[in-house]
Structure formats: C-alpha cells, structure tokens
C-alpha cells in the first residue's frame, strides 16, 4: 500500500480518501465535490467526526427536512456515497447531550471542524440509485465490475 498524497492511500481494490472541512463549509456539498474530484462511482463513509453550526436533517418518515441551530457534536455518521447519488445518516448531540439523527441534507454547516474518511470502492463496484416500487424511494443498485 503506497501513499499517492497525504490525503489518499490505495490498496488493491480500496482507496482511502481523507478530507478535513473548516468552519463555515457545507458538508453535503464538500462530500459531493470530493466524489466528483475523485470520480467515485461507489464509496462508503467510514468516519465523519466534528461539529456543526447548523444541521439539516430529514427525520424518519418525514416528507421534508428540518433545519436545526447548534452547535452540535457529530456523534456518528454512515453512508453509501457515489456520483450518482448518496444516502447518508448522521447522529448529532447538542450542548446538553440530547441526541437526534436522520438523513443528512444539504445545508449542514461546519462549526469548528469535520474530519471525513471515505473508502472508494470504485475499482470493484458501481453504485446507482434506482426507484424501488416497494419503498417508493430511490434505493441502492450495486453492480460488481468484472
């Protein structure tokens, strides 16, 4: 395993992308920019830690997102990401330790820092989002490359 640059390492079929976001940056937009820059067709968020000034979340079964004012600590985050669409869940805690979580939507702003690690699986996989008649949502369609 050799390092291409300080924010990127690669093994046989998995490339690790690392990005630090600064105060005022928008998380969803930064993730999409990283995916575009690295041409990520299939990836997973392995770590996303830091804090938010504002959080835009869609709660379970809610038709629209809710904008929340922080500051918040990010206590967990997981997601399946790709140029064709991403599905990211995030858990946050306020200053009293009260926790909320849901779908991460555009509009969540970094407070002090966010440290992001993405595993790029594009050498082996291609992820797409396709309509599922059972759920009514755009769901993961994963294709293994030959």
pLDDT at 12 (0 to 100): 63
The string of DSSP codes covering 83-141 is TT--EEEEEEE-TT--EEEEEE-TT-EEEEEEEEEEEE-TTTEEEEEEE-TTTSSEEEE
Residue 10 lies in a domain: no
d(CA 42, CA 76): 21
Tokens, residue 10: 């690669």
- Which residues share a beta bridge with 15? 10, 120
pTM of the model: 0.86
Residue 1 lies in a domain: no
Least confident piece of the model among 8-12, 86-90, 115-119, 135-139: 8-12
pLDDT at 84 (0 to 100): 93
Write the pLDDT tens digit of every residue in 8-59.
Answer: 555 566 899 999 999 999 999 999 999 999 999 999 999 999 999 999 999 9
Residue 78 lies in a domain: yes
Tokens, residue 107: 């509009």
Residue 11 lies in a domain: no
Residue 13 lies in a domain: no
Q: Please confirm whether the linkage preceding 71 is cis (ω < 30° from 0).
A: yes
Can you give the residue range of the structural domain that contains 126? 20-144
pLDDT value at 133 more than 80: yes
d(CA 29, CA 26): 6
Residue 9 lies in a domain: no
Residue 42 lies in a domain: yes
CATH number at residue 90: 3.30.1330.80
Write the pLDDT tens digit of every residue in 38-51.
Answer: 999 999 999 999 99
Least confident piece of the model among 91-100, 106-115, 135-144: 135-144
Work out how many domains the chain is built from and give that number. 1
User: Could you tell me which of 123, 124, 36, 47 has the C-alpha nearest to residue 84?
Assistant: 36
């Amino acid at each position: 395993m050799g390092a291409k640059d300080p924010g990127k390492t690669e093994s046989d079929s998995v490339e690790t992308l690392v990005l630090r976001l600064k105060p005022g940056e928008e998380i969803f937009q930064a993730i999409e920019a990283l995916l575009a820059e690295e041409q990520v067709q299939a990836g997973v968020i392995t770590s996303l830690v830091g804090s938010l000034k504002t959080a835009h979340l869609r709660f379970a079964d809610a038709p629209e997102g809710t904008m929340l004012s922080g500051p918040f600590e990010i206590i967990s985050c997981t997601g399946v990401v790709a140029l064709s669409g991403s599905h990211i869940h995030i858990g946050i805690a306020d200053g009293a330790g009260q926790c909320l979580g849901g779908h991460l939507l555009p509009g969540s702003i970094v407070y002090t820092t966010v440290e992001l690690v993405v595993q790029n699986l594009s050498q082996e996989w291609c992820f797409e989002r396709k309509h599922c008649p059972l759920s009514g949502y755009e769901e993961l369609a994963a294709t293994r490359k030959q």
